[in-house]
A and B are shown apart, each in its own frame.
Chain A
């Protein structure tokens, strides 16, 4: 693997780095809010992947200009950007649903730490099952 390959594909390295950071936070942290943050970073890496895919070297923003149609106007591909706008919306929705659940979990259990919640759940398991 040459240095050249590393440098010309730096966007992928950024994406991979972000993805791994997000995934690591998601797996290793027990706090539910931190998990959501990790999930967000993880999703953001995908946004970066799509956005950098759409970029064309020397390309202009894909906006209708007067020179349009006069040949060599190279513009970036707008489709991945539009797609990822949808994914960003989905990310926001996921985050707010996750946070809303975290708030209700905090109210119901008095904690946001996963191991404490597991402990509480294990504690009430026999009584809770019978009581429904």
Chain B
């Protein structure tokens, strides 16, 4: 069975999704979702270890050899992203049980898990496939289910934010299809490895450059790079808690992966940085995103929205690493993909616990919760410290590499800005901590600690935050290896 792992990675959640509709029982559907997402995690870990030990795995779907058929191609880069997505998927699924029963009507629960699994398989599919059109197909699978998931939020603003996300997401996806179509018209191929071989021959053509532009805008819309992030804050704020935790930790990460894969593997680092000046386009946008969005986050009163703006800023960090155009910078990007998923997952899950007990995530509702819900708020503090980048947390590791990358290029103002933005993160996390620990509790006297079914996934993520903050060589080693693969391009 081992040789079929690449296909099973996508097929297991994909097949579990319709089965959720047949069982028609919330608990049974949840069981299926947990089973499928943990299987996906197991497969992704196995794939990563196989890739690390024996190199690229290529799987020809339908037995049609690439470049004719669709190829699933696993190298260190996407095995890494697969692990990120499936880890979060596997932890959000058990978390969802209690949370969803509170936030979503009983009749819709099987539908929720079906959409969740479809979203998961879509994200895994984008990551694993080696075929550019297949990327679009999986992108739409994950996006459409994401719109539905966000619209399940209790607040009616969930509907309008899902609608805005739908418009922005569809425009982004359409831009990506235009880019893919133009690439196909120039090369006659859709296979990434094949395109990487063929594209240098037509670098000079305007069509390829236009395709590059369309793809860039499409990806930036999908990954919510400032100023194309407007769909994100509301979508994350009003979505059900498990959906926010899942989307914030995976969807934008996969979009960043797509950008890296297309621009560095398919087009090649040389074309992106030397011909298209990608680094010089992204650098100012990333810096503005980091600083302005951290600033906006400071003034938010809804903590989920605060974290959403912080997410946009964190995406800025990832793009910043890419814009250094060095292996160290790219290592920071890839590390931060994983680390940010861990910390934002933990923070949003803690907010889900608060939502469950208090029914609100307004900052005033947090008053005194430090004593009422100690485990929840401690998880929030741990996640927050990681977000700020305190040593012994994963946040420190990614910031370290980011600053290292900046200094390597001699861009010390960039390093200073990163430090300033970290202080801003400290400010907005501190606001929540202050309210939670230094104000009197005013709410319902019945308020207790969140149930353990919500707490253990939250704390599992916190534990990963600390573990990989201390044992950083492991993740940093994989990230560096992945960065080297991306920078050297395919086939070398």
Interface residues, chain A, CB within 8 Å of chain B? Answer: 23, 26, 32, 35, 39, 42-43, 46, 49-50, 53, 80, 83, 86-87, 90, 93-94, 97-98, 101-102, 104-105, 108-109, 117, 121, 128-132
B292 contacts the other chain (Cβ, under 8 Å)? no
Cβ contact within 8 Å between A105 and B170: no
B184 contacts the other chain (Cβ, under 8 Å)? yes
Cβ contact within 8 Å between B140 and A132: no
Known: A86-B137, A94-B170, A101-B151. 20 other contacts (CB 8 A): A32-B163, A46-B177, A46-B181, A50-B177, A53-B181, A80-B181, A83-B133, A86-B133, A87-B136, A90-B137, A90-B144, A90-B173, A93-B144, A97-B148, A98-B167, A101-B162, A102-B163, A132-B360, A132-B361, A132-B362
| B89 shortest CB reach to chain A, Å | 22
Contact for A87 among B144, B151, B177, CB less than 8 A: B177
Report Cα–Cα, A115/B326, bound state, in Å.
Answer: 45
| A46 shortest CB reach to chain B, Å | 5
Q: Assuming A49-B181, A83-B133, A93-B140, is B156 touching A108 (CB within 8 A)? A: yes
Q: Assuming A104-B151, A108-B156, A109-B156, is B166 touching A129 (CB within 8 A)? A: no
Report Cα–Cα, A23/B167, bound state, in Å.
Answer: 11
Cβ contact within 8 Å between B167 and A39: yes
Report Cα–Cα, A132/B177, bound state, in Å.
Answer: 38
B295 contacts the other chain (Cβ, under 8 Å)? no
Of the A-B pairs whose beta carbons lie under 8 Å apart in the complex, a sample of 22, sorted by A's number, is A23-B171, A26-B167, A39-B171, A42-B171, A49-B178, A80-B181, A83-B133, A83-B184, A86-B133, A87-B136, A90-B140, A90-B173, A94-B140, A94-B170, A98-B163, A98-B167, A101-B159, A108-B156, A130-B362, A132-B359, A132-B360, A132-B362
B39 contacts the other chain (Cβ, under 8 Å)? no
| B213 shortest CB reach to chain A, Å | 14
| Residues in A whose Cβ lies below 8 Å from that of B174 | 42-43, 46
Which residue of the partner chain A has the closest CB to B165? Answer: A101
Which residues of B from 125 to 156 have beta carbons under 8 Å from A? 133, 136-137, 140, 144, 147-148, 151, 154-156
| B338 shortest CB reach to chain A, Å | 30
How many residues in B have their beta carbons less than 8 Å from beta carbons of A? 36
Cβ contact within 8 Å between A105 and B177: no
| B350 shortest CB reach to chain A, Å | 16
Cβ contact within 8 Å between A132 and B167: no
Report Cα–Cα, A81/B302, bound state, in Å.
Answer: 47
Cβ contact within 8 Å between B181 and A50: yes
| Residues in A whose Cβ lies below 8 Å from that of B184 | 53, 80, 83
Which one of B136, B154, B157, B364 has the highest number of Cβ atoms from chain A below 10 Å of its Cβ? B157
| Residues in B whose Cβ lies below 8 Å from that of A102 | 163
Cβ contact within 8 Å between A97 and B144: yes
Contact for A131 among B140, B144, B163, B360, CB less than 8 A: B360
Report Cα–Cα, A76/B302, bound state, in Å.
Answer: 56
Report Cα–Cα, A93/B156, bound state, in Å.
Answer: 22
B185 contacts the other chain (Cβ, under 8 Å)? yes
Q: What 10 pairs between A and B have smallest CB-CB spacing?
A: A132-B360, A108-B156, A90-B140, A101-B163, A105-B159, A132-B359, A129-B362, A53-B185, A130-B362, A94-B170
B160 contacts the other chain (Cβ, under 8 Å)? yes
